[in-house]
Amino acid sequence: MDFYKGHVLKIDMSTGTAEVEPLNMEWARLYVGGKGLMLRYLWDLTEPGMDPWSPENPLIVAPGPFAGTNVSTCSRVVLGGKSPANGTILDSYCGGSFGSVLKFAGYDLIIVQGCAAELTAVLIKDDKVSFVPAAKYAGMLTADIEAALRADFDPHMTSLSIGPAGEHKLPWACVSNDQYHKAGRGGTGALMGSKNLKAIAVAGTGRVTVGDARAFLEDIERIDTDYILTDSNYWVHEEGTPVLVDVTDGAGCQPTRNYSSGTFKGAGNINSEAFKKIRVKKRACYQCTLACRNFHRINDIEGEGPEYETIALCGSNVGVDDIAALMQFNHLCDEYGLDTISTGNVLGLAMDMTEKGIHDFGLHFGDIEAYLKIPEQLALRTGVGAELAMGSRALAAKYGHPELGMQVKGLEAPGYDPRGSFGMSIAYATSDRGACHMRSFPIGVEIVEGTMPADTLDESKAEFNVTFQNHYAFKFCGVWCDFWAIDYEQMGMLMKHLWKREVTEEEMTQVGERVWNLGRLFNLREGYSKADDVIPEAWLEKPFSDGVSAGKIIGTARFNEVLGQYYALRGWDEDGVPTEAKLTELGIDVRL
């Protein structure tokens, strides 16, 4: 078979056994791969209301069909399950090389269920799967565990591993691949930790076929030159994500001091220009020609990142503009295995509550000494970390100030305050995993391109979000990277190789819509409802007092009206439930 390997590797941690099952090709046709395929398997593998911390909660690892070829950016994998952080769908993406190498080993999907009695590592070498006791790796940081696995088993192994945060089941523990690549959001690391699974390492020597390989190579060479290595994509290579600091700061939507402002005085110290001065090298994920990643060195700290989200949440949002401290903080989060978005949110919240006199956590905006202790304290749940580990929603509620926790559906917010980009309010409220900028990104049209006003919210924004979400839901089935601004025409050129026929935009949009609706059904099944499609009140009712977005207000009534329009455009009823007609139209075969 071309592109797909046709194999699903099912791992049972409780019994220490693995078996290979044929890939469900009907699902592969309907859901393509990545996010969609993961979700369809997730639905089938779980009972409604399943406790996400239970052994039954599957960890599903799904690359897309183009992983293991030279289609740029498609080495990415999605890690999925039911989120331990908040109980929504969990789909968290990670670059690096795992997706490609998994295909060389012969698998389209890994499903891990059960829980091992002791900390365990799973090794996959082509068709051989083994379970090794991981007591000697317990507590190891990311760099060490990866190096140990390579040294102990195979120098070519690449692994998905957790740091101490995952072992201690921090709800926003992440999973690492090739040191700097993280499946960050939603607690993939906690999910691994809850299975006593320290690492999955894979080495593969097999082949991914694509039909006529030489014709394929010629086509990809053309696509790369015409559509990837273009002037408009050049920023990815030249700047990488730190370029967003000036963009969001200039637009008044950079989270600053627990989202109390959209502009940060120290932004110039932690923007792309500042990072370029300490850049040593450009790096790339496996099978990616864009090479967005920046390897930095300052003092004795070196490594990739921080990316924009880290700069915003662990920089401006906690009042830190010291580039060396930020590098070190990022490094510690990488090593201990923490998602920096949630970390920066919780920390900003604790600092805010301290400074407002609500509760003294001993943490203050800009206090670098205390700040640098946080990653370890959170990961090991020691000191103040023991309490902060409950996350923004619970922490803010505990001290009677839920309005200070910047989260949606329990997931902490990323680096874009909707007060500077109104369309983001609907993007966050309707995102299938809580506050997330990777489902729809109105920032692009409202700020970067300026083709839609940033300070209006009306039906056109509802429509924009629907279109974008469908596009991205499909894009994440092929598992193209966000940084390739790939449109339907270009995806069609690649899909033509996969399906061996012309593929229309309509077909691809429909896959995206199908995936989006299945995600919605899952969340509804797990108890989420319209009442949860809300965002923090401050974003709707409390205008900023400084920056270009000062004084601007979305308003709750307006927000609710546009949310209703969004449901209607989606073909959902007033309560945000997909109608029978919609599900039938999309060929979704499951029901609530």
Binding footprint of another protein on the chain (CB under 8 A): 68-70, 96-97, 100, 104, 143, 146-147, 158, 178-180, 204-210, 213-214, 216-217, 220-221, 224-225, 229, 234, 237-238, 280-291, 293, 295, 302-304
The span from the CA of 348 to the CA of 361, in Å, is 11
Q: Which does 483 bind (CB under 5 to 8 A by kind): ligand SF4, another protein, none?
A: ligand SF4
Binding range to ligand SF4, per CB under 6 A, among 43-51, 271-279, 280-288, 389-397: 280-288
**Sign of CA pseudo-dihedral 449, 450, 453, 459:** negative
Q: Are 351 and 258 in contact (CB under 8 A)?
A: yes
Q: At its nearest, how many Å lie between ligand SF4 and the CB of residue 216?
A: 15
Taking the least distance from each CB to another protein, the nearer of 162 and 370 is 162
Taking the least distance from each CB to another protein, the nearer of 142 and 258 is 142
Taking the least distance from each CB to another protein, the nearer of 147 and 386 is 147
Q: At its nearest, how many Å lie between ligand SF4 and the CB of residue 357?
A: 42
Write the CB contacts of 207 (distance below 8 Å, at least 6 apart in sequence).
104
Q: At its nearest, how many Å lie between another protein and the CB of residue 188?
A: 19
Q: Which does 282 bind (CB under 5 to 8 A by kind): another protein, ligand SF4, none?
A: another protein
The span from the CA of 395 to the CA of 152, in Å, is 41
Taking the least distance from each CB to ligand SF4, the nearer of 169 and 439 is 439
Q: Which of 229, 278, 291, 390 binds ligand SF4 (CB under 6 A)?
A: 291
Q: Which does 236 bind (CB under 5 to 8 A by kind): another protein, ligand SF4, none?
A: ligand SF4
485 is an interface residue for ligand SF4 by CB under 6 A: no
Strand partners, 407: 412
Tokens 């999925």 found at: 80
290 is an interface residue for ligand SF4 by CB under 6 A: yes
174 is an interface residue for ligand SF4 by CB under 6 A: no
Of 94, 81, 83, nearest in space to 38 by CA: 81
288 is an interface residue for ligand SF4 by CB under 6 A: yes
Tokens 């740029």 found at: 72
Strands across the sheet containing 181-183:
128-133, 120-125, 197-203, 158-161, 175-177, 181-183
Q: At its nearest, how many Å lie between another protein and the CB of residue 328?
A: 16
Taking the least distance from each CB to ligand SF4, the nearer of 73 and 377 is 73
Taking the least distance from each CB to ligand SF4, the nearer of 478 and 547 is 478
The span from the CA of 519 to the CA of 517, in Å, is 5
The span from the CA of 578 to the CA of 97, in Å, is 37
* N- to C-terminal Cα separation, the chain: 34
Which string of DSSP letters, residue by residue, matches 16-48? TEEEEEE--HHHHHHH-SHHHHHHHHHHHH--T
Q: Which of 46, 57, 69, 73 binds ligand SF4 (CB under 6 A)?
A: 73
The span from the CA of 96 to the CA of 174, in Å, is 14
Write the CB contacts of 561 (distance below 8 Å, at least 6 apart in sequence).
none
Structure tokens at 494: 């690649």
Q: Which does 97 bind (CB under 5 to 8 A by kind): another protein, ligand SF4, none?
A: another protein
Structure tokens at 556: 């709750």
Taking the least distance from each CB to another protein, the nearer of 478 and 536 is 478
CB neighbours of residue 17 within 10 Å: 12
Taking the least distance from each CB to ligand SF4, the nearer of 179 and 560 is 179
DSSP secondary structure code for residue 53 in this structure: T
Residue type (1 letter), 27:
W
Q: Which does 221 bind (CB under 5 to 8 A by kind): another protein, ligand SF4, none?
A: another protein
Residue type (1 letter), 290:
L
Window 228 to 257, contacts with ligand SF4 (CB under 6 A): 236
Taking the least distance from each CB to another protein, the nearer of 237 and 401 is 237
Strands across the sheet containing 293-298:
279-283, 293-298, 301-304
Structure tokens at 307: 């990316």
Q: Which does 128 bind (CB under 5 to 8 A by kind): ligand SF4, another protein, none?
A: none
95 is an interface residue for ligand SF4 by CB under 6 A: yes
The footprint of ligand SF4 (CB under 6 A) covers: 73, 95, 236, 284-285, 288, 290-293, 481, 483
